[in-house]
Amino acid sequence: MIEPFTVLAEDDDLPAWDVPAEIERLYGRLGLADECLVANFVESLDGVVAIPGLPRSHAVVSDDSDADRFVLALLRACADVVLVGTGTLAASPKGTWRVDKAYPEAAAAFAELRATRGLPEQPRVAIVTSGVSFSPPYPVLDAGAIVLTTEIAAPGIAEAVPQATEVVAVNDGASVDLRAAVSALRERGHGVVVSEAGPTLFGQLVAAELVDELFLTVSPLLAGHALASRLNLVEGVELLPARRVAGRLRSVRANASHLFLRYALSPM
C-alpha cells in the first residue's frame, strides 16, 4: 500500500464528497462536479506522455508509480463512464478499464466509494472511433461498452461487436463530432466522464472546449525527445499563439518524487 499523499496546496471551494476512511487517509479530500469531463495523464519531467511502439509506455513514463496507479483507479472509481479512443484501445488491446485492475490494493475502498455514490460496480467504457482503425474483438466490448462513431461506420461496427455493446451513430461525416458524442453520453445518464484517451483525442477535446479538469501526474523521469518518437500532452492541434487555453491550478499533492496536479481548464 502506498504512503499517504502530502497535500501541498488546495482550493477551499473544491467539491467534497463523503468518502471511505481509507481514501481520505491516503488521498484526503475528494470531489467532482455532478457533470464534468475530467482528463487524466502522467507525463515525464520534460513533458512526454507516451512512447509509441513501447509496450506499457505509460507505466515507463510514470516510473511504475504505485501512487499514479492509485490516482488512475481513484478517478475511475468516480466515473460514470471512462472515455478512450482507438489509439488507446490499440495500445491496450486487452484493457478493460476496470477500477479494481488499476490499483487492486485499494479495490475495497473504491468499491465502497462507488456504492456510496449509487454507482454500479464498474464504470461504462466509451470508445470514440471513426471506424477506420477499429478492429474487434476487444475484451472490453464483452462487458457492454459504448462505441461512439459516425453514421457511415455504425452498421459495420454493429455487426462486428458483441450484442452487449451499444453502437451510437453520433453524426454523419468522416469524423466523430465530439460535442455530440459527449451529449450522447449525457443523454444516457453519464454525468462524470473520465477521459483516459491519448494526446490526440485529448487535443481534440480541448479544442472543442469539452475538458473541465485535468489531473496531471508529473513523473521525476526525463524521457528525451528525438524527432517524432515521443508524444507530448497535446497532439494534433495548434493552440498558441492564436488560441489561449489556460489551466487554473486547484490542487497540488506529492508522493515521493511525483507531483499530482489538478487544473481547471479555461479556454479564452
Predicted confidence (pLDDT) per residue in 164-205, tens digit = 999 999 999 999 999 999 999 999 999 999 999 999 999 999
pLDDT digits (tens, 9 = 90+) for 99-125: 999 999 999 999 999 999 999 999 999
Show the cell assigned to 171.
453524426
User: What's the whole-model pTM score?
Assistant: 0.96
Q: What is the mean pLDDT of residues 21-39?
A: 98
Closest CA to 188 of 161, 170, 211, 213: 170
* Environment class of 3 (CB within 10 Å of its CB; exposed 0-12, middle 13-18, buried 19+): exposed
Verify cis geometry, omega within 30 degrees of 0, for the bond prior to 123.
Answer: no
Question: Tell me, what's the pLDDT at 133?
Answer: 84
Q: Following CA atoms 148, 152, 153, 159 in sequence, which dihedral angle do they give, to the nearest 10 degrees?
A: 110
Domains of the chain: 38-220+243-267 (3.40.430.10)
